[in-house]
Structure 1
């Protein structure tokens, strides 16, 4: 196939606004927002979100700005609407082990109701229990119990008093103790000094009597203390008997108010029984007292606090499953936490200070996380791995052991959580995870792969227009005319570097929508038109193209040597591209080659000084082998050759210059000059076929600007791979120059076509002996190689009788 000289119509796809089927985007608001060009991802997402089995979590991979997060959030909300509302989660006081609060799942809304009912009950009991204890029936029975005790106690005391009096002792009770004194004549209490002056025999009698009295007092207490205990037990039993019907009524009201189909209803019933027993055990605290009322209220408050309900997850009001997007997955925010307060230099807490994390709140629904956020904290990563393995979530505070003061810690009951995790990451992260942590990766069996581009069609253009319409509505922007949308769609093709494909990175389109709308408003327009979009594109370029501008100035000022007129042997303009992520631009770079007689072969100077990458080095080796194959009939070649990228101070990577390198080598070997106005890009394989390269539009436009500055005379242009034709989405300025014949864009499928264009000589076809015609590029190169061989012929050394090289 001969070389092609493309026409202006080949250089860009132009979208007819009339083909879009609307006048402006306001007409498209009734249509739902579609998954544009992401059918594979949409199908995978729906499959994963509907799978109820474990380990079918979703890993969403794709480029930032592809809509992966927003579209998955939308899909999560749709899937959640068809799922049942999950239960509430409460934490309650554990009467058997207060340091291990118990968890309770109740039907949605029941947690809030239980909290209200328990709060109402505790408030009611503070009024009703004292009333019960002040009732006439209770008073009569308690007085009877006390009277029985007092009668028996008085009888025992009278017996003790008589016993003491018989031994001449006076006895009395003081603060629960017995105090006695010896009585002398006239029943006068003797002091210790008076006792000491008594005769020895008399003192002995007194001591004997005192020992007998002490024994009697001990016997008295042994009799009365069980009586007191019995009285207290009887009074306590009476209080329990009086209060229990009230508690039964209150707790039955709570049971009746809650649905028995709750998952943990049996557990709740057991808890309420414990509440009843605890209230009965502390019913004395409810009794109104005239003495130390403040202390009693404090003790009562402490008791009542045990009956509070800590509703950590409240799903009341939800119409489906929860959808949680956690943008800050810290340990506490993701897995829950326990709050502390300082009391007497000790960190203390209780079950009411337990806080739920995003995983608790997402139980029964969906949780979106970004892998990069998780990898930032090793503790978060390890905890999530354990959760996915066990399905149980334990709230813990790993940092309390490191605090400078003592802490009273809790160990809340672990709960079973069923959460569909949607993990957002890049392709590189996905495959690294597969390699480095296969156990974790196994938990994400659904791969949702977002494409970077998609084939353009009438349907995708319609969907893209709907996206623009919804973006205008959501951000309160003026709507876009069909012509403006057509210009945006052309920009999408340019982003994809493909006339047949659109870019799937809609964040760029959204940014351009906002910037175009701002320009429309600046001119007081009501509808964004194509001129606004074009102006926004040019403004964006102006904000980002300073490096490109400086390089163009360096070329124009002669600091960077680029020749765009005339012909040169062994010299050619290659095309390169710089991608700064927010801006891409192309520029020419001079490629030169020198050849000599020798046996060292091809020298890649960039590789020798470690300024070229492995892909570029691979391309040089390929063209070296291709060159060797062209002249295999005169092998081995007696050749020294060097290739260099002139004024390259940053290094080169990629194989897109291998065509240019081959051409300058052939030019140097053949002595035929190359047209300096035609810049070259393209990779070459071992058969001489020209392969496509990236950044083709930026490369062409960068070289065009150099030629435009130097002066277009109709001889300038670029030679690109034929397979890059569909990648052309060039600026209108370039297209106009091509239409006027001032600039040319040539395509080649084989290197033979390119060298013929650049030299004006045929490449040459080998005859039966393998030799090339004299008046051809390869014929001239063959002549030079034979001359190199003759120059390197060995000669017999006259003294040593051996061969050496000249």
Structure 2
């Protein structure tokens, strides 16, 4: 069957082109125009997105459908970015050393834009402490107090021994130093009584001398038994002195940071715990690896251990919002479980 076609209405050439008068335009270039953020002919879709983004509950989702090239992705991105600029900036997050349980780091929720500055401030404070603490321990005041404690212990020992020696002298007993220690011997007119002469003494006098020597030996043994206790007391005084000196050296550094971050209680609490830990572990700041006479390999091992121990004071910044203007808009082209929730990449 043959089909017949009727010729269409012809159009003049001037009808195929519409000339726009530039004088009617209020701009010089389209580059100066604001970005168009609507989808022509999609008023209901736009209203739906407006409504959906006002529902502020967890677990709420919006699914946008449309033909390819309709501009749905561009519109949603522009819409969310514009709306997010008027939302609050979310918190920073960082990990710090847990002084109560070193095996489990402690997460700190911080005001936006704070975490990087806090990390730098603590790094600087630790570096300053590495200079201030050794300087305090090398000061003349510390050395004098340290020597005074050692001298006190020495004087106590000498005083006790002098008392025993004086008691022995009154009893006519001499005190001599032997390769095995201190010994008591009978004396007469500042001369040692020889064995043959001692045997000639009356038995009563011999028993008296033996009793005196036994009593003096007991006093000496008591002094020797108490020496470790006195040594512990001396070491405790040394530790207390080191604790006090280290505390004075680091207090100013930490107090400055506590004043700066006084409006953030979790930071102030962490700084206080850090300060206490520095004082309790002051040996980390005295650089035993610099000791004279150590082999180069041993120095390297000690430096490695010191560096690892000092990492406890570092701040591990997880989320930094310093560059955010409003709430962030995150685009994830592959919203898998691992991409959304995260995954363990390495287990130490």
Establish whether TM, by shorter chain, passes 0.5.
yes
Which structure's relative contact order is higher, taking Cα pairs within 8 Å and 6+ residues apart? 2
**Aligned-partner Cα distance in 2 for 1:157–1:326:** 82
Higher deviation after alignment, 274-283 or 314-323? 314-323
Partner of 2:191: none
**Aligned-partner Cα distance in 1 for 2:115–2:259:** 14
Q: Which has the higher strand share?
A: 1
Residue 171, structure 1, aligned to residue 180, structure 2: yes
The structure-2 alpha-carbon separation of the partners of 1:141 and 1:94, relative to structure 1 and needing over 3 Å to count, comes to same
Q: Specify which of 241, 248, 253 is matched with residue 251 of structure 2.
A: 248
**Aligned-partner Cα distance in 1 for 2:156–2:242:** 22
TM-superposed deviation, 1:49 = 2.6
For 1:107-186, what aligned pairs fall within 5 Å after superposition? 107-153=111-157, 170-171=179-180
**Aligned-partner Cα distance in 1 for 2:250–2:239:** 15
DSSP-derived class of the 2:179 partner: strand
TM-superposed deviation, 1:54 = 3.0
Q: Give me the CA root mean square deviation.
A: 4.0
Partner of 1:42: 46
Contact (CA 8 Å) 1:50, 1:79: kept in 2 or not? no
**What are the superposed Cα offsets for residues 49-101 of structure 1, whole Å, 9 maximum, x if unpaired?**
34433343323234444333222111111111111222211111111112221
The structure-2 alpha-carbon separation of the partners of 1:82 and 1:31, relative to structure 1 and needing over 3 Å to count, comes to closer
**What are the superposed Cα offsets for residues 738-783 of structure 1, whole Å, 9 maximum, x if unpaired?**
xxxxxxxxxxxxxxxxxxxxxxxxxxxxxxxxxxxxxxxxxxxxxx
The structure-2 alpha-carbon separation of the partners of 1:38 and 1:167, relative to structure 1 and needing over 3 Å to count, comes to same
Unaligned runs of 5+ in 2: 10-14, 23-27, 169-173, 183-216
**Aligned-partner Cα distance in 1 for 2:230–2:274:** 30
For 1:681-760, what aligned pairs fall within 5 Å after superposition? none
TM-superposed deviation, 1:220 = 5.6
DSSP-derived class of the 1:239 partner: helix
DSSP-derived class of the 2:155 partner: helix
**What are the superposed Cα offsets for residues 398-426 of structure 1, whole Å, 9 maximum, x if unpaired?**
xxxxxxxxxxxxxxxxxxxxxxxxxxxxx
Q: Specify which of 33, 57, 61 is matched with residue 57 of structure 1.
A: 61
TM-superposed deviation, 1:278 = 0.6
The runs of at least 4 consecutive aligned structure 1 residues that moved more than 6 Å come to 5-10, 156-163, 165-169, 213-217
The structure-2 alpha-carbon separation of the partners of 1:167 and 1:258, relative to structure 1 and needing over 3 Å to count, comes to closer
Residue 287, structure 1, aligned to residue 286, structure 2: yes
How many pairs align?
289
DSSP-derived class of the 1:321 partner: coil
Contact (CA 8 Å) 1:87, 1:107: kept in 2 or not? yes
Contact (CA 8 Å) 1:156, 1:224: kept in 2 or not? no
DSSP-derived class of the 2:102 partner: coil
Computing the radius of gyration from Cα coordinates, the structure with the larger value is 1
Contact (CA 8 Å) 2:133, 2:250: kept in 1 or not? no
Residue 319, structure 1, aligned to residue 322, structure 2: no
The structure-2 alpha-carbon separation of the partners of 1:170 and 1:155, relative to structure 1 and needing over 3 Å to count, comes to farther
The structure-2 alpha-carbon separation of the partners of 1:54 and 1:246, relative to structure 1 and needing over 3 Å to count, comes to same
> TM-score, normalised to structure 2's length?
0.69
For 1:661-672, what aligned pairs fall within 5 Å after superposition? none
TM-superposed deviation, 1:303 = 3.0
Q: Specify which of 67, 80, 84 is matched with residue 80 of structure 1.
A: 84
The structure-2 alpha-carbon separation of the partners of 1:142 and 1:111, relative to structure 1 and needing over 3 Å to count, comes to same
Contact (CA 8 Å) 2:92, 2:112: kept in 1 or not? yes
TM-superposed deviation, 1:133 = 0.9
The structure-2 alpha-carbon separation of the partners of 1:40 and 1:240, relative to structure 1 and needing over 3 Å to count, comes to same
For 1:766-777, what aligned pairs fall within 5 Å after superposition? none
**Aligned-partner Cα distance in 1 for 2:306–2:162:** 39
DSSP-derived class of the 1:47 partner: helix
Partner of 1:677: none
**Aligned-partner Cα distance in 2 for 1:57–1:160:** 90
TM-superposed deviation, 1:234 = 1.4
TM-superposed deviation, 1:9 = 6.5
Unaligned runs of 5+ in 1: 11-15, 173-179, 181-212, 341-346, 349-806
Contact (CA 8 Å) 2:261, 2:268: kept in 1 or not? no
